Structures are given as structure tokens and as C-alpha cells.
Amino acid sequence: MKTISTQVCIIGAGPSGLMLGQLLNDIGIDTIIVERASLDHVLSRVRAGVLEQGAVRLLERAGVGGRMHGEGLVHEGFAITCEDEIHRIDLAGLTGGQSVMVYGQTEVTRDLVDRRAETSGVTHYEVEAVELHDLDGDRPYVTCRVEGEELRIDCRFIAGCDGFHGASRRAVPESAIRTFEKVYPFGWLGILSDVPPVSHELIYASHSRGFALCSMRSMTRSRYYIQCNAGDSIDAWSDDQFWSELRRRLPPEIGEQLTTGPSFEKSIAPLRSFVAEPMRFGSLFLVGDAAHIVPPTGAKGLNLAASDVHYLFEGLQAYFGDSDSELLNAYSERALARVWRAVRFSWWMTTMLHRFPDHAPFERRILETELAYTLESDAAKSALAENYVGLPY
């Protein structure tokens, strides 16, 4: 078996692993990333689209702000529709001038992969049989198979950035981890199509037929979602069926403006809230989706990955730079405080805007009232806006 060593071994080259790796490499802390998928697969994933200011700042710091600021779209508001009514949430007005950046996760990933290559960061793709060892000591190591060859990576810390289905969280003994989970009884069917977006701002639509979301990747590329049944198969949804269902869930004046066209990506995502506590076990730190999942309604998944990376980066910088362990020891507590706020917000947005097949008339009325109140009250709209642009870190 070949043995190599590094300071921080990062499992997973999703946004968490790539952001953390870049920030650390840029201050001279050595990292090796091991990724199960191929580079093509990593670069072709679609997923999230909305970045909070905190994520924007972190990406700037990682040296990948250029294309994001050139091609990303700054949004100062979005709409919520309730059957045929349209309400604008004035993010900037309600938060003292804050906004979000619409820039796809696919582009974020590409920028980070390119920057890692430019700065000679090491990433092994298509690794198999990743296993974590000796997590409770201060000389942990990772074993895996790269191009058929067994590899051992010795390190001081391991960052588990390998998503919900990764190996890292599973390496923690069950007695040392507590999990919280809620699975929602529906999914999101999402498409990408090269048609202009129906509106220059996002539209979250609450409708008796189910939720819908109009988003975008650029002024010529639209990203649309509709709530679907949890068990739906993608083959059961033709493009025509998708467009007609989406139109029915939008107010007529918006639906009439919808430009349709062929989709070039179509997928169904299940909706789940999940948190694992604590986010540290010995020398292993869990980051991003490896530690928590939120339903996409609040646009928080990728943004939480960014805030975790921020806290862990600060901890590792102080540890390696100043031999100070305090921030590293506080990582789990600091990250989880923000995680739970985003988990709450995502659950609230999801519950308020979707139709639950199992809700009794009483629960339905309560949620209609919740939405009506949110759209009427300046205080409620401010709370919504404050959470949507992202709580500070």
C-alpha cells in the first residue's frame, strides 16, 4: 500500500470540500481531497442556485469571485404567489439593503475546480472504498483505492465533506452521534431549459394543486420546479405535462408570460430535514450535507455548507497558525447554532408553501392563515427577509 501524508484530508469534492480545500491551501495548509465520483460527474451536478452574502464573501476569499460577480444576478427581492395573488418580498427594503446572488452551484463548482487546478491542489477522483481510521486519536488516516492501487493518507484532521450518503458520518460510532430527521411526503420535480425566465425575480408559488418555484440560471436559462408525489417516476413527466402543470399553479398573468421549450435536465429530489449532532468526533469534522440536509424551499443547503466551512476554516487556521485550539473546539457548537436556525426556516417555508397530502382541514386552514399573516405583516415579512438573505456569521 502506498502511503502519503497531508495536514487535512478532505473527503468529497462537492462545494464544501472544494471551498475548504481552497481556503486552506491559500494560507499554506496542505490538503488532499478524495472524491468518489468522476470529475465530469462532479461538474455536471445542477442543484442549488441562490447564494447569501456570506457565501459570496467566502467564494471571493477562495479566489473565485470574478466570474460570479460578472455573470451572477443580484436579486433584491422575490415574489410569493398565493393562488392568483402576487406579493413581492422586498429583501433590500426589509433588511437594510441586503440582497442575494443567483449563481448556480454548477458554476460555483466549476470555478472552484479550476482554481484548485491553477493552484496545484491535489484531488483524487473516482476513488473507491474510502475508509476513515483512528478518529479518536491525533493521527487519523484514510484508506482508499485509486485506479486499482491501495492508498493510505496520514493526516492531522479529516474533513468529512462527502454529503448525506458519504462514508464520514457513518464512521462515527452510533453511541457518539445523535440524529434528527423529518422526511416530507412529496418531492420536487425540477427542470432546466434554455428559455428566458418568466420574471426577473424568483417566484415561490403556493397553490391548491401544489407548490411551484420559478428560478433561473441566467436571463436565457430557466430553472423551474413543481411539487410532485414522493414516489413519482421521472418518465411519467413529459416536458408538456411539466409546463402545463407549472402554468396552472401560477397566477394567470404570470402563466401567460411563461416561455416554454425543451428541458435538458430533469430530476426529482426528495425533501428531508436532517441534523447530526455533534459535528465533530475526535479528529473528524463533518461539514455541509454530511452533517445536515434541508429541504430546498429556503435555498439554504449550499449556504449552510459555506457557513460550516467558514467556522472550520477559522478553527484550522488558528490551530495550525497559532497553535490555538479554542475555535476548533467550538466548531460544532458554532456551526450547529446557525444550522438549526436554517433548518427551522427551511421547515417553515416548506410547510407554509406546500400541500401536504396527509393534512386535515384544520392544519390546512392554519397554514393558509400563516401565509396570509406573513404576507400582510411587516414584522413577519422582515423575519422572512432576514432569514432568506441569511443570518450573519
- 161 contact, one of ligand PHB, ligand RFL, none, CB 5-8 Å limit per kind: ligand RFL
Catalytic residue among 15, 140, 295, 296: 296
What is the rounded distance in angstroms from the CA atom of residue 229 to the CA atom of residue 46?
A: 21
The residue range among 231-239, 292-300, 355-363, 373-381 that interacts with ligand RFL, by the rule CB under 6 A, is: 292-300
The SS3 of residue 22 is helix
Q: Please, which of residues 300-359 interact with ligand RFL by CB under 6 A?
A: 300-302, 305
In the list 115, 223, 354, 381, the residue contacting ligand PHB (rule: CB under 6 A) is: 223
The residue range among 89-97, 292-300, 318-326, 359-367 that interacts with ligand PHB, by the rule CB under 6 A, is: 292-300
Residue 307: CB minimum distance to ligand RFL, A:
11
What is the rounded distance in angstroms from the CA atom of residue 140 to the CA atom of residue 154?
A: 6
The residue range among 12-20, 65-73, 293-301, 331-339 that interacts with ligand PHB, by the rule CB under 6 A, is: 293-301
296 is catalytic: yes
Enter the DSSP assignment of 234.
G
Residue 100: CB minimum distance to ligand RFL, A:
11
Cis amide leading into 278 (omega within 30): yes
331 is catalytic: no
The SS3 of residue 326 is helix
The amino acid at residue 41 is H
Residue 188: CB minimum distance to ligand PHB, A:
8
- 209 contact, one of ligand RFL, ligand PHB, none, CB 5-8 Å limit per kind: none
Contact (CB, 8 A) for 141 and 155: yes
195's grid cell: 428559455
H-state helical runs in the chain: 15-26, 39-44, 53-61, 65-71, 91-95, 105-118, 239-249, 252-255, 301-322, 326-329, 331-353, 361-376, 378-389
A 10 A CB-CB count for 183 gives 12
111 near ligand RFL, judged by CB under 6 A: no
Enter the DSSP assignment of 202.
-
Catalytic residue among 184, 225, 319, 388: 388
A 10 A CB-CB count for 226 gives 24
Residue 296: CB minimum distance to ligand RFL, A:
4
Q: Which residues pair with 144 in a beta bridge?
A: 151
- 289 contact, one of ligand RFL, ligand PHB, none, CB 5-8 Å limit per kind: ligand RFL
In the list 23, 34, 159, 286, the residue contacting ligand RFL (rule: CB under 6 A) is: 34
What is the rounded distance in angstroms from the CA atom of residue 86 to the CA atom of residue 89?
A: 10
163 near ligand RFL, judged by CB under 6 A: yes
What is the rounded distance in angstroms from the CA atom of residue 179 to the CA atom of residue 170?
A: 12
Which residues are the active-site residues?
Answer: 75, 204, 296, 300, 388
Residues that bind ligand PHB (CB under 6 A): 48-50, 202, 213, 215, 223, 296-297, 299
Q: Which residues bind ligand RFL (CB under 6 A)?
A: 11-17, 34-37, 42, 47-48, 105, 127, 130, 161-163, 165-167, 269, 288-289, 296, 299-302, 305
